[in-house]
């Protein structure tokens, strides 16, 4: 571990290299104890990180996966959109598990608020799209897109605004009133302003001292604190550089993370790209290496490929090296974390996508290892064919594989 930490430097980003759900949370959880600040830059409660510690499963949607580590500052950046009832629920869940995160939680005053009515607008927009085009985006309906729409239109509410409104119900009612009229006129959505007001006041009561200036994380940088950045979603879902329009509404690359946190690009000392040993996708959009039928079902069941946020079954397919190469170049990846290697243990043959043309993938077939890798922690003990699989990825992408997941548990990881 020490050799890996030295190679990472003081500011490390952990970024998904596919369409999300790669297992970023486990790498964050593993590394968090060696950093001072655990930061999340973008997205909202459409993210889901599952961590298994001593057999107990913890699912996070807004809080970084590293939140389980005591004495670590947790920072939610300006690039995020935050549904406050969900945040309060996660805080309470941690409290019941014996973890009081509030004293070490910091929320950027620039982060935007997701209201319940944003979820309703999300659903209406999907229905209108489907009716007009016969297709849909396949959003999580967590209100993320509409919240970012308000942000871009400069009609959103930020956490910092609670300092003006939080102590005054009258001011909140006035603020929510004009929003209700606008949403009803544009989308036919009814806003329960009393409920929204209650949510804001509850959050203000607990978090008023946790809302901090956007520059706070720059102060951490100046103090030479080690910062671990948790990416949300993944590269191919980036609003600018992903498979548009079937993308999320935020900027999911390493550059987007720096922007969302308010850190200068030069501060980033390393980037760990995270990819499954195969590939999955949720929602609509292209997926050249997708497999259906019995093989797809087998990967889904062995990998437990159901959304942590929605419970939706994920589309499954094989690894695409051209996508990994793109992600590595776009993010400046310095290390790979290949997750769920053990899911391929029973495969006699493992197709790997090596090129894509006109939406169709070209595969190179590798021999499977047909031997259990679950729980292995030493690269030398992996079956020879599994080692060849890892080296194949390194050779094609020119990025070293530093971490290899061999199971869901915190300790089931090979560190090279």
CATH 3.40.225.10 fits 112-212, yes or no: no
pLDDT the model gives residue 167 = 58
Catalytic choice (29, 36, 49, 240): 49
DSSP annotation of 285 reads S
pLDDT score for 29: 87
What local confidence, expressed as pLDDT, does residue 135 receive? 84
pLDDT digits (tens, 9 = 90+) for 300-322: 999 999 876 678 899 999 999 99
Q: Which of 21, 122, 220, 322 is catalytic?
A: 21
Residue 90: other Cβ atoms inside 10 A: 19
Taking residues 187-215, report their average pLDDT: 93
Q: How confident is the model at residue 54 (pLDDT cuts 50, 70, 90)?
A: low
Using one digit for the tens of pLDDT, what is the confidence trace for 218-245?
A: 999 999 999 999 998 999 999 999 999 9
In order of 78, 202, 249, 391, the CA distances from 142 in angstroms are 18, 20, 12, 39
Q: Tell me 153's DSSP state.
A: H
Mean pLDDT score across all residues of the chain: 93
* Cα separation, 158 vs 175, whole angstroms: 12
Percent of the chain with pLDDT over 90: 77
Which pLDDT score, from 0 to 100, does residue 51 have? Answer: 66
The pLDDT value recorded for residue 375 is 95
Q: Domain boundaries in the chain?
A: 2-108+213-415, 112-212
Residue 206 has pLDDT above 80, yes or no: yes
Tokens of 121: 């607008």
pLDDT digits (tens, 9 = 90+) for 376-413: 999 999 999 999 999 999 999 999 999 999 998 888 99
Give the C-alpha separation, 260 to 84, whole Å.
19
Average pLDDT over residues 206-229: 96
DSSP 26-63: HHHHHHHTT-SEEEE-SB-TT--EEEEETTEEEEESSS
Report the CATH number of the 2-108+213-415 domain: 3.40.440.10
- Measuring CA to CA, how many Å separate 301 from each of 282, 318, 338, 343? 15, 15, 19, 9
Q: Tell me which of 46-50, 58-62, 123-127, 273-277 is least confident.
A: 46-50
H/E segment holding residue 339: strand 335-339
Active site residue 49: yes
Q: What is the dihedral of CA 35, 41, 47, 51, to 10 degrees?
A: 0
Give the whole-angstrom CA distance, residue 128 versus residue 313.
24
What the block records as the tokens of 329 is 């170049």
Active site residue 83: no
Instruction: State the pLDDT at residue 134.
Output: 85
Distances (CA, A) of 246 to 130, 151, 281: 14, 20, 11
Please list, in sequence order, all residues whose beta carbon lies within 8 angstroms of the beta carbon of residue 145, skipping any fewer than 6 positions away.
122, 125, 137, 139, 248, 249
Tens digit of each residue's pLDDT (9 = 90 or more) over 4-49:
999 999 999 999 999 999 999 889 989 999 999 999 999 999 877 7
Mean pLDDT computed over 44-61: 76
How far apart are the C-alpha atoms of 385 and 127, rounded to whole Å? Answer: 47
pLDDT class of 217 with cuts at 50, 70, 90 = very high
- Position 72 scores a pLDDT of 95
């Amino acid at each position: 571990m020490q050799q890996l930490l030295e190679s990472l430097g003081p500011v490390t980003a952990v970024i998904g290299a596919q369409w999300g759900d790669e297992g970023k949370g486990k790498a964050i959880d593993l590394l968090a104890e060696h950093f001072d600040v655990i930061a999340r830059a973008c997205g909202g409660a459409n993210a889901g990180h599952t961590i298994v510690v001593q057999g107990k499963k913890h699912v996070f949607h807004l809080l970084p996966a590293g939140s389980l580590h005591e004495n670590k500052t947790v920072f939610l950046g300006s690039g995020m959109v935050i549904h406050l009832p969900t945040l309060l629920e996660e805080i309470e869940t941690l409290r019941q598990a014996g973890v009081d995160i509030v004293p070490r939680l910091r929320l950027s005053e620039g982060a935007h608020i997701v209201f319940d009515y944003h979820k309703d607008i999300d659903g209406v927009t999907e229905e209108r799209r489907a009716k007009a085009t016969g297709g849909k985006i396949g959003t999580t309906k967590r209100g993320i897109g509409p919240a970012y729409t308000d942000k871009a239109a400069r009609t959103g509410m930020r956490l910092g605004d609670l300092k003006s409104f939080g102590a005054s119900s009258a001011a909140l009612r006035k603020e929510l009133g004009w929003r209700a009229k606008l949403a009803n006129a544009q989308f036919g959505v009814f806003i329960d302003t009393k409920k929204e007001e209650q949510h804001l006041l509850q959050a203000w009561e607990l978090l008023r001292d946790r809302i901090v200036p956007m520059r706070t994380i720059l102060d951490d940088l100046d103090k030479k604190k080690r910062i671990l950045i948790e990416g949300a979603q993944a590269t191919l879902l980036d609003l600018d550089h992903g498979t548009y329009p079937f993308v999320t509404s935020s900027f999911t690359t390493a550059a987007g993370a720096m922007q969302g946190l308010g850190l200068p690009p030069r501060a980033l000392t390393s980037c760990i790209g995270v990819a499954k040993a195969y590939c999955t996708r949720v929602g609509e959009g292209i997926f050249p290496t997708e497999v259906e039928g019995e093989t797809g079902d087998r990967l889904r069941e062995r990998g437990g490929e159901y959304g942590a946020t929605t419970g939706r079954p994920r589309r499954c397919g094989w690894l695409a090296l051209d996508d990994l190469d793109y992600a590595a170049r776009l993010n400046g990846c310095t290390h790979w974390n290949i997750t769920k290697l053990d899911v391929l243990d029973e495969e006699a043959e493992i197709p790997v996508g090596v090129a894509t043309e006109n939406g169709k993938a070209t595969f190179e077939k590798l021999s499977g290892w047909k031997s259990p890798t679950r729980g292995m922690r030493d690269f030398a003990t992996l079956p020879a064919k599994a080692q060849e699989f890892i080296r194949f990825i390194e050779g094609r992408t020119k990025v070293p594989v530093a971490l290899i997941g061999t199971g869901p548990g915190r300790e089931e990881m090979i560190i090279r």
